[in-house]
Amino acid sequence: MKKNIEFWRDENGTPHVVAQTREDMYWGEGYVHARDRGMQILLMRILGQGRGSELLDASEEMLGIDTFFRRMNWRDNTASELDKLSAENTKYLNAFCEGINAALAEKIAWEYKLLGYKPEPWEPGDSIMLSRMVGYLTLSQSQGEIERLLVEMVQADVSLDKLEALFPGLLGELDVELIKQVKLHERIVNPETLWNLAAPRAMASNNWVISGSKTHSGKPILANDPHLEVNRLPNIWSEIVLSCSGRTLMGGSMPGMPGILVGRGPELSWGATYSFIDAVDSWIERVRDGKYYREDDDQWHAFSVRSEVIKRKKKEPVTVKFYENQHGSLDGSPDTEGYYLATRWAGADSGSGAVNAIINLWSAKSVEAGMDTMGPMETSWDFVFADGAGNIGFQMTGSAPIRRKGVRGFVPLPGWKSENDWQGYHSYLDLPRILNPEQGFFSTANHDLNHLGKTNPINMPMGSYRTDRIDALLKAGSAFRVEDVFKMHGDLYSLQAEAFMKVLKPLLPENEIGNILKDWDLCYDAQSRGAFLFEQFYKALYGEVFGEGGLGKTVTDYLSNETGTFIDFYANFDAVLLAESSPWFGDRSREQIFKLVLENISNIEIKTWGAVQQFQMNHILFGGKMPGFLGFDKGPITGVGGRATLHQGQIYRSAGRVTTFMPSYRMTMDMATSEMHSNLAGGPTDRRFSKWYVSGLQGWLDGKYKRTVPDEDQPKIKL
């Protein structure tokens, strides 16, 4: 350990790094990441490299996971990205990696000793790879999934009027006959399978800023609560405080990457949600004899063929081949003549922009500087900012492809026509952004923000229920304190339920179920029977409309039980369900369908919402495999909230396992102070036998916030 760096924990276990130079400070951050989260970051790297079968287990499931990551190929092509870092940031990233390696040289997580794995040194390219993984899993991936669903629906003969009702304004140049000829192959790995291990799954988030005109202190307040899987230990976020030469940054860092992704400095605070930019496109390729056709020169061109050898513990290695061109990776082998999809993600070959931006935040002291610093990131985020001078702002980031006029990127187009190729990327200055909005506040919740930009990068956003609720609360209130924001973080009122109940209430029968729903306060608290009944109605409703209306029960059940389709894109489905009439209704009225669904659930056992919101927090490597008394897993835990409440509370079975999405990390900052208030679903370290393993869990469950300050005179606990 370097002698000129001071390491310590505060009373909540949050690590502090105090150094005289920034180079030493980032060395210290890397050291802390490896000490507190060494098992986590090494597992992330193993997955990203596609080496799980070699180093963890040789199951068929792991082979599928390795094949997925080998196809994505995020571990390669990092050298060119490292060359894009500034000389100063290259120095800081190298120092960060040296700090990780210094800690790994001192002690390797005992879990890997059991597995017989001696880790290779951490390299700068590994941090670039992690940046790509975090940017894609799974929110960018969800865009590709819904576009793939469109193809499957076309091939299942779902009528054009039904598709238009579900995807309004997105089906320009849809060639039904061509898409029906596309040969679809099975996914390399069911997306849900990925989340059995360390790969973080993101779903949604809230963030908002309030100007000083609406706060008690007269200075802006910023709030953020990223929604990730919380049924995993450790938490994906690693809280840390970084100090150098009297300047301090604090907040949530991403283990394995330098800097603070969400947090604050003395003059500026920032928070992030996912932006749902459509950065994933598929093209239809015409192939034969291992080649693809191009209309411009009327020639057949050879694919770039990449062979990957996947080693497997105590089994023979497996060789997989990927066929690639400028449109990405082909779904299938081009040796058999036909039409296939090739898919590309805009961030696949990037990573330096995110690393540069996060490191450069150290020097950002104003909202405008924050917007210009984070704007060039290649991955898709909605950042809100607040500064001590009283400014608030919002900046969307991400590589948003420039497509020819009239093309949105949702429908796969012929790849042999060069006019359908991407034509570069939009400047961040053209993406949605705003500085000091007139209403004195601003929120994002993964919704449609296209109206704030010069281009329209979003095709399939989440619904606006959460941001509408935030805005309503902020508009109605004044003289906000951080304690008011804490209450907002815990808000359980559903505007989605409100919209449906306006239609449903007049139809409710005079029985126990009807009376419970009539009296329901539209909140998803643990004791609510109304929330339970509404969710039973809602699931049965989309099963009736989309199952009976065209997709079929089997497909609808699969989408509901084995994918996130109805969760990621519920706004599109709700638009159909709430419409007065729709092609999906057939010859039935909306009221007839609602009444039928009510009848179908009339005999269900009535439970509380909390009774069906039970989950376990499982260790990411040994989850469910170790005896309960050893304490690797925690639970059962009762979740609250729903898909459309500020406190999101989604718990559902998918691919045979429980998946949860809740506020993984809550933070609030009043720019009148130097403090940060936060709670974390877990604790600072992944070391099971440390007192800090889940030291923050009870505070997270109770909605209690710890206070973090940069004061070096506070009591210090040895790291």
Cα–Cα nearest to 643, from 202, 192, 204:
204
Which pair of structure tokens corresponds to residue 222?
């910023």
What mean pLDDT is predicted for residues 88-110?
96
Give the dihedral sign, CA 18/23/26/28: negative
Whether residue 345 contacts residue 280, with contact meaning beta carbons closer than 8 Å, is answered with yes
- DSSP letter for each residue of 213-249: GGBSSSS-EEEEEEEE--SEES-S-EEEEEEETTEEE
Whether residue 668 contacts residue 221, with contact meaning beta carbons closer than 8 Å, is answered with yes
CA distance linking residue 98 with residue 124, whole number of Å: 9
Scored b (16 or more CB within 10 A) or e, 578-615 reads: eeeebbbbeebebeebbbebbeeeeeeeeebbbeebeb
Amino acid at 272: A
SS3 141: helix
Q: Nearest 5 degrees, angle CA 81-CA 431-CA 397?
A: 40
Bridge-partner residues for 654, per DSSP? 657
Residue 169 lies in a domain: yes
Whether residue 620 contacts residue 234, with contact meaning beta carbons closer than 8 Å, is answered with yes
Residue 164 lies in a domain: yes
What pLDDT is stored for residue 191 in this prediction?
45
Domain hosting residue 332, numbered range? 139-194+283-345
* φ, ψ dihedrals at 143, nearest 5°: -65, -45
* φ, ψ dihedrals at 530, nearest 5°: -65, -40
Residue 534 has pLDDT above 90, yes or no: yes
* Last residue in a domain, options 611, 634, 661: 611
What pLDDT is stored for residue 227 in this prediction?
86
Cα-to-chain-centroid distance, residue 693? 23
CA distance linking residue 665 with residue 659, whole number of Å: 17
* Last residue in a domain, options 593, 611, 629: 611
Mean pLDDT, the chain, whole residue set: 92
Q: How many CA atoms lie within 13 A of 663 on its CB side?
A: 32
What pLDDT is stored for residue 201 in this prediction?
52
CA distances for 132 relative to 90, 143, 261, 426, angstroms: 18, 16, 14, 19
Query: What is residue 597's DSSP assignment?
Result: H
Which pair of structure tokens corresponds to residue 642?
């729903």
Cα-to-chain-centroid distance, residue 154? 28
Q: How confident is residue 21, by pLDDT bands cut at 50, 70 and 90?
A: very high
Whether residue 507 contacts residue 595, with contact meaning beta carbons closer than 8 Å, is answered with yes
Q: How confident is residue 551, by pLDDT bands cut at 50, 70 and 90?
A: confident
Predicted confidence (pLDDT) per residue in 117-148, tens digit: 999 999 999 999 999 888 887 566 777 788 88
Give the dihedral sign, CA 85/434/707/659: negative
CATH of the domain at 145: 2.30.120.10
CA distance linking residue 143 with residue 419, whole number of Å: 22
Which pair of structure tokens corresponds to residue 713?
């005179």
Predicted confidence (pLDDT) per residue in 275-308, tens digit: 989 999 999 999 999 999 999 999 999 999 999 9
Of 294-303, 317-326, 345-354, the range with the lowest mean pLDDT is 345-354
Residue 187 has pLDDT above 70, yes or no: no
Amino acid at 703: G
Q: What angle do helix axes 529-542 and 512-519 make, rounded to 10 degrees? A: 110
CA distance linking residue 415 with residue 286, whole number of Å: 8
What mean pLDDT is predicted for residues 166-188?
88
Residue 437 lies in a domain: no
Cα–Cα nearest to 417, from 404, 400, 401:
404
Residue 21 lies in a domain: no
Which residues make Cβ contacts (< 8 Å) with residue 336, sequence separation at least 6? 183
Scored b (16 or more CB within 10 A) or e, 303-317 reads: beeeebebebeeeee
Residue 190 has pLDDT above 80, yes or no: no
Residue 439 lies in a domain: no
Residue 690: how many other CB atoms lie within 10 Å = 14
pLDDT greater at residue 61 or residue 201: 61
CA distance linking residue 129 with residue 124, whole number of Å: 9
Cα–Cα nearest to 569, from 166, 186, 138:
166
What pLDDT is stored for residue 194 in this prediction?
42
Of 46-60, 195-209, 255-269, the range with the lowest mean pLDDT is 195-209
Residue 407: how many other CB atoms lie within 10 Å = 16
Residue 48 lies in a domain: no
Predicted confidence (pLDDT) per residue in 410-465, tens digit: 999 999 999 999 999 999 999 999 999 999 999 999 999 999 999 999 999 999 99
* Last residue in a domain, options 295, 326, 345: 345
Count of domains for the chain = 2
Cα–Cα nearest to 272, from 145, 387, 375, 198:
375
Residue 113 lies in a domain: no
What pLDDT is stored for residue 653 in this prediction?
57
Peptide linkage before 138 cis (omega within 30 of 0): yes
Predicted confidence (pLDDT) per residue in 647-693, tens digit: 999 876 555 556 778 999 999 999 999 999 999 999 999 999 999 99
SS (H, E, C) 244-313: ECCEEEEEEECCCCCCCCEEECCCEEEEEEECCECCEEEEEEEEECCEEEECCCCEEEECEEEEEEEEEC
Which residues make Cβ contacts (< 8 Å) with residue 362, sequence separation at least 6? 22, 247, 249, 259, 265
Share of the chain above pLDDT 90, in %: 80
Give the dihedral sign, CA 106/112/115/117: negative
Which residues make Cβ contacts (< 8 Å) with residue 472, sequence separation at least 6? none
Residue 231: how many other CB atoms lie within 10 Å = 23
Whether residue 274 contacts residue 207, with contact meaning beta carbons closer than 8 Å, is answered with no
Residue 182 lies in a domain: yes
CATH of the domain at 599: 1.10.1400
